[in-house]
Structure 1
Amino acid sequence: MKITIKLLLVVFLFTLSCKKPQEATVNTTTSVVSKPYKNYDFNTNALLQHVKTLSSNAYEGRRTGTRGAEKTRDYIINQFNQLNVKPLNGSFEQSFSFKAWGKAYEGVNVLGFIKGTDSLKKHIVISAHYDHEGIKKDKIYNGADDNASGVGASIALAEYFKQNPPKHNVVLAAFDAEELGLKGAYHFVDSKILPINQIGLNINFDMIGRNKNNELYVVGANLYEQLKPAINSISLPEGFSLLSGHDGLDNKEGWVTSSDHAPFHKKGIPFLYFGVEDHEDYHKPTDDFEKIKPVFYQNSVQTIIEVIKNLDEMSF
C-alpha cells in the first residue's frame, strides 16, 4: 500500500512540473504565415543567438546540479551584467537544496534587479526557468523551446529596459529546477527574499519559440480580470494570434499550475503565463534550435513586451 501511494505521489508531482502534455485533440486550423512586427524593441539576431547557444550540446541539457546548468548561469549573469541589470539583494545567485524522486539536489536561481523610475513599492517578477532534462541514455535534451526560448526572452527584456527604464521595480528571475517540480520558483516565493506584499505581479515564459499555427497563449487574464486591458489593447501583426485560455475556465487542459507562475498564484499574486501548446518535440532530444520558428519567436517576445509596457502603467 505504501508503494502504491508513493507511486501515485510521484505521478502527481511529475504532472505539476513544467507543462503538462496537451489533450489528445486534432487542430484542423490551416497554418498561417505570420508577418513580422514593423519594429522590434530588441536585437532579433541576438535573441536567436541566445537560444542557439543555450540549447547547444555544450550546455548538456542544463539539468539542475550539472556543469551545463552552471555554464547556463554564467551565461545569464554575463548578459545581465552587460545590460546593467543589478543583482537582487547583493547576489545574482540564490542557492537552495531539495529532494526529488529520492535524490538530493543543489539548485541555484539567478535573480536580477532593475530599479523602477517611480517610487512604487510593488515589484513585477518576470520569470523563465533555465533548467531542462539534461542527458538521458547518452542523448542530450537541449530544450531549445523548453525553455531556452524563455531565457532568451528575459535577456531581450533586459535589453529593452536598458533603453526604456520601467516605472515599477523589476526582478528578472531565471529559475532552476522547474522540471523537478517548480522547486526554484517555490524557493523564491517561500524564502521571502522579496516580501510577498511587495510582489504585485508575476509574468512567466515557458515555451514561446514555435507553433505551427502561430498561436501564443496567455494564461491568467481570465482569473485576474484587472489585467485584461493590458492584453486587449495591443495590435498584433497579421497572422499572429495571442489567445487567452488554458486557465481552467474552458474545455482546454489547465495550465494554472503547470510552470513557475504556480507558486505566485497560490499566494494570491496575479500572474500572466505565456506559452504554446505542446509540440511533437516536447521533452524529447529533438527539441533543438533548428526547430525554433524565428518570426514567430520574435513576434512572441515583442508581443510580451507590448503587454508589459501596458502593465507597467498600471497599479498593483
Structure 2
Amino acid sequence: MRAILASSILSLSLFSTACVAIQPDGESGDWSLNREQLLSDLSVLAADDMEGRAVGTDGNARARAYIIDRLEAMGVEPVGDSYEHGFSFEMPRTRDKVDGTNILARIEGVSDSARTMVVSAHFDHEGMRGEQIWNGADDNASGVASVLAVAEMFMAEPPEHDVIFAFVDAEENGLQGARAFVAAPPIPVENITFNLNMDMVAMSTDRILWAVGTYHYPYLTPIVEDVASRATVSMPMGYDEPTEEPGGDWTNLTDSGAFHAAGIPFIYLGVDFHPHYHQPTDTYENMTLDFFQDASEAIADFARQSDAQLDMIGEASGR
C-alpha cells in the first residue's frame, strides 16, 4: 500500500500555491500555503478507504503510510531511526491490549538552543460502526493536514528552534498516543518548551477558530492577539477555565491535555462543537473549505510566531 500511496503523493505535490503567509515582521516571505495540497490531504485522509482510521485497524495503517510518504516527499526527517513509534494500552472496558503508533518527525532549528516546540495533531478517528464509516474529516484529518502545511513552511523557511511534529494515535481512546509521547519523549522532557495542538479546524460556518490555553498560560496571550490581528478568521480565546458547564472547559479534551499535565505550556486551536462532531456526516463534503484554508494560514502564522517567541515562553514557564 505504501508504494501506491507514494505515487499518489507525487501527483498531489504538483498542485500550485495560492495564498501568501504572513511572516513575523508582517511582510511576505518565500513560503506560501499550497491550498490545493491542503485540501488534497484532507480529502485523502477522510476518504472511505481509510475506514475511519480507528487505532489498530488497516485503515489506520493506511493513514500512517500516507502521512509518512508526505513527510518523506517534503524531506522531513524522522525522529530516530523510524517515523513510527509504537506504544500499547488497555481498553478501559474490555481490558484488551491495543497497539498504537505515533508518527514523529523533526526539523532542526538554525539556532543552537535546546528548546523545542512540538506541533501535534491526532490522526485516528472512530473507525466503522457496522458497515457505516465514520470518516473524521474535521476530527481530525483537518488537524493533520494543517500540521503537514506547517511542516512544509518550516522546510521552506527553517525555524529558529527544533520542531517536532507529532501525529499521535488513539486520541479517541483517552489521549493514549499523546500520553505515551509525554511519558517517554524522544528528547529530554525539560527541553519541550511548548505544544501547539490542532484538533478540528475545518468546520465553522461562523469562521471561528478558538485559541485554548491562555487561562493557564497568560503570557501566551500576546501571541494569540498578534496572530489574530492578521488572520482572516476570528480567533477568540477561551474554553479553558474550570467550569461545571458540560463541554465548557476543553483543557483535557484533546492531546494538549497530556502536555499540560506534564507542565508544558500549550495552545490548542480548534473549532466549536458542530452537528457533524462524532457523527458519520463528518465528511470532506460537509466541511467549510474556505474557512479551513484560511484557518490553516493562521495556524502556520501561529507556529512561526511561537517559534520566534519560544525563548520567552521558556523563560516565563521555567523550561
TM value normalised by structure 1: 0.85
2:204 counterpart of 1:223: no
Query: 1:223 offset after TM fit, Å?
Result: 1.4
Where does 1:138-287 land on structure 2 (aligned, <5 Å)? 138-234=131-227, 235-237=229-231, 240-248=233-241, 253-287=248-282
Distance 1:96 1:281 in 2: 30
2:7 corresponds in structure 1 to: none
2:302 counterpart of 1:307: yes
1:24 corresponds in structure 2 to: none
Query: 1:193 offset after TM fit, Å?
Result: 2.2
Distance 2:67 2:209 in 1: 25
2:90 counterpart of 1:109: no
1:6 corresponds in structure 2 to: none
Unmatched 5+ stretches in structure 2: 1-17, 22-31, 315-319
CA deviation digits over 1:188-232, x for unaligned, max 9? 100132221010000100000011111110101221122112111
Distance 1:95 1:200 in 2: 23
Where does 1:18-33 land on structure 2 (aligned, <5 Å)? none
2:47 corresponds in structure 1 to: 56
Distance 1:180 1:39 in 2: 37
Distance 1:147 1:88 in 2: 22
Select 2:63's aligned residue among 72, 76, 79.
72
1:296 corresponds in structure 2 to: 291
2:116 counterpart of 1:123: yes
TM value normalised by structure 2: 0.84
2:3 corresponds in structure 1 to: none
Query: 1:236 offset after TM fit, Å?
Result: 3.4
CA RMSD of aligned residues (A): 1.5
2:91 counterpart of 1:91: no
2:36 counterpart of 1:45: yes
Query: 1:42 offset after TM fit, Å?
Result: 1.5
Give the SS at the match of 2:163.
Answer: strand
Which sits farther off after the overlay, 213-222 or 303-312? Answer: 303-312
Query: 1:38 offset after TM fit, Å?
Result: 5.8
Give the SS at the match of 1:259.
Answer: coil
Give the partner amino acid of 1:151: V
Give the SS at the match of 2:60.
Answer: helix
Give the SS at the match of 2:144.
Answer: helix
Contact 2:195 2:264 in 1 (8 A): yes
Distance 1:217 1:175 in 2: 21
Unmatched 5+ stretches in structure 1: 1-36
Give the partner amino acid of 1:86: E
Aligned length: 279
Contact 2:150 2:303 in 1 (8 A): no
Query: 1:89 offset after TM fit, Å?
Result: 1.8
CA deviation digits over 1:146-176, x for unaligned, max 9? 0000000011111111111101100000000
Give the partner amino acid of 2:112: S
Give the partner amino acid of 2:132: K
Contact 2:89 2:99 in 1 (8 A): yes
* Greater RCO, 1 or 2 (C-alpha within 8 Å, sep 6+): 1
Give the partner amino acid of 1:265: H
List, as ranges, runs of 4+ consecutive aligned residues in structure 1 with deviation greater than 3 Å: 249-252
